A = this chain, B = another copy of it.
């Protein structure tokens, strides 16, 4: 399914004009899947320019060939993406091919679709977007060497890189229940932390940070005790979204004995569209080679195909705006520009490692890359790194400084896959604004009051 096909044809354009603008994230070559609420009903759709094809309306329209894989896929996507994602990749692929044919400039069905555009092709900005899919288990990796080394140095470790880092993709289980779609408020959490005097206190967490990540959505799962081979892993990844792994560093530093817990579980943000593995096929590249003195890659993490095309030509960005910046009409400031090449491990290796002990992945499981920081200063993908752990405050164009996120600060993550000869595709936004901590009701009686 990763082979190029007519849906990737860079010459293909859409009769939906907004899909042909060079800056759009959603040209006809992308066609990412998402979920939204319309008139109180959960629906699924595919983004094209500033619009989304409502898959329920598409199914009812009769535009798909009856009893085809595409029609079966469209029916499976009714009410949520879970079932479609659980099916062999050819179903979503057939639906993608059918949509591409319906939306291309010279599609014979154009007039018929335009006639029903209000129902069939709502503007995205009129939709209440939801999490693309319910997440079963959410796993977060730690695969940027630069992010890991910098944090090790901030902690004053003699060897800033943990011994296991180059032997396996380090990971921990994250909290699935507090994953939210892009756009909402991110409430500053309460927690226990050490204050400036070293006293343990409980209160609104001071050191709030963002972390720029890419996350893979599992399509077909595997059975318990049945590992996924590294070169088969891509077929189990339905697609990718942007992930902001909001972190309350002050909580995390104090609590962390068995890994991150309340320092992260208050909120994690996901972009609303799943850019499919198939849409990203033209942007495949070899991952960055391991250094000569790195330990040899173990057999179960070595895939012939993965070594050839386990990476992606993908640039990722973080933007910050403050209340003052917005009040002055200024646009958000880009604070991070990084590249997926900054990961030491590929997503196929993450899947292979994750299942190497027989652990089962299920449809809708989410695998975060970890903070995608690079060696360059501009490629530091969280405020902790951008400020060298608070030593060098971040300076904004209006003179404001930051060593952590303040209430009202907004982070927007974006990403673009770009390669000469291919039409660039994007991920949409992963946006969140920090809201002040709520008053804390210690006892039920206070809540009732």
Do A190 and B266 form a contact, CB below 8 Å, given A227-B441, A300-B202? no
Docked pose: A354 CA to B300 CA in angstroms: 36
A175 contacts the other chain (Cβ, under 8 Å)? Answer: yes
Nearest to A187 among chain B residues (CB) is B225
- A295 touches which of B163, B165, B187, B200 (Cβ 8 Å): B200
Nearest to A200 among chain B residues (CB) is B167
Do A177 and B444 form a contact, CB below 8 Å, given A170-B258, A354-B262? no
Do A257 and B162 form a contact, CB below 8 Å, given A167-B200, A173-B172, A300-B442? yes
Contact with B along A356-393 (1 / 0, CB 8 A): 11111110010000000000000000000000000000
Question: For residue A177, which residues in chain B have a CB less than 8 angstroms away from its CB?
Answer: 136-137, 224, 359-362, 365
Docked pose: A258 CA to B260 CA in angstroms: 7
- Whether A167 lies near B180 (C-beta < 8 A) is no
- Whether A224 lies near B191 (C-beta < 8 A) is no
**Contact residues of A between 39 and 71, Cβ < 8 Å to B:** none
**Contact residues of A between 272 and 299, Cβ < 8 Å to B:** 295, 298-299
Contact with B along A232-260 (1 / 0, CB 8 A): 10000000000000001001001101111
Shortest Cβ gap from A141 to chain B (Å): 9
Interface residues on A, range: 35 or more
Question: For residue A136, which residues in chain B have a CB less than 8 angstroms away from its CB?
Answer: 176-177
Docked pose: A359 CA to B265 CA in angstroms: 6
Nearest to A357 among chain B residues (CB) is B189
- Whether A447 lies near B295 (C-beta < 8 A) is no
Docked pose: A150 CA to B202 CA in angstroms: 29
Question: For residue A311, which residues in chain B have a CB less than 8 angstroms away from its CB?
Answer: none
Do A192 and B167 form a contact, CB below 8 Å, given A227-B440, A257-B162, A262-B359? yes
- Whether A192 lies near B173 (C-beta < 8 A) is no
Do A164 and B255 form a contact, CB below 8 Å, given A262-B359, A357-B189? yes
Docked pose: A224 CA to B165 CA in angstroms: 34
Question: For residue A174, which residues in chain B have a CB less than 8 angstroms away from its CB?
Answer: 173
- Whether A164 lies near B254 (C-beta < 8 A) is yes
- Whether A142 lies near B357 (C-beta < 8 A) is no
Docked pose: A172 CA to B258 CA in angstroms: 6
A231 contacts the other chain (Cβ, under 8 Å)? Answer: yes
Docked pose: A356 CA to B204 CA in angstroms: 10
Nearest to A170 among chain B residues (CB) is B257
A443 contacts the other chain (Cβ, under 8 Å)? Answer: yes
- A262 touches which of B262, B295, B356, B438 (Cβ 8 Å): B356
Question: For residue A254, which residues in chain B have a CB less than 8 angstroms away from its CB?
Answer: 163-164, 167
A130 contacts the other chain (Cβ, under 8 Å)? Answer: no
Question: For residue A300, which residues in chain B have a CB less than 8 angstroms away from its CB?
Answer: 190, 202, 440, 442
| 8 tightest Cβ-Cβ pairs between the two chains A and B | A259-B259, A189-B357, A173-B173, A172-B258, A258-B259, A262-B357, A265-B359, A229-B444
- A-B contacts, 28 of them at CB < 8 A, read A137-B176, A137-B177, A142-B257, A162-B257, A168-B255, A170-B261, A171-B261, A172-B261, A173-B174, A176-B176, A178-B358, A189-B357, A189-B358, A191-B356, A191-B357, A192-B298, A202-B298, A202-B300, A202-B356, A229-B441, A231-B443, A259-B259, A259-B260, A263-B357, A266-B358, A300-B440, A300-B442, A303-B443
Interface residues of A (CB under 8 A from B): 136-137, 142, 162-165, 167-168, 170-178, 180, 187, 189-192, 200, 202, 205, 224-225, 227, 229-232, 248, 251, 254-255, 257-263, 265-267, 295, 298-300, 302-303, 353-354, 356-362, 365, 438, 440-444, 446-447
- Beyond the given A262-B353, A262-B357, please list 10 additional residue pairs across the A-B interface where CB-CB is below 8 A: A171-B261, A173-B259, A177-B362, A180-B224, A191-B357, A202-B299, A227-B440, A230-B443, A251-B357, A265-B359
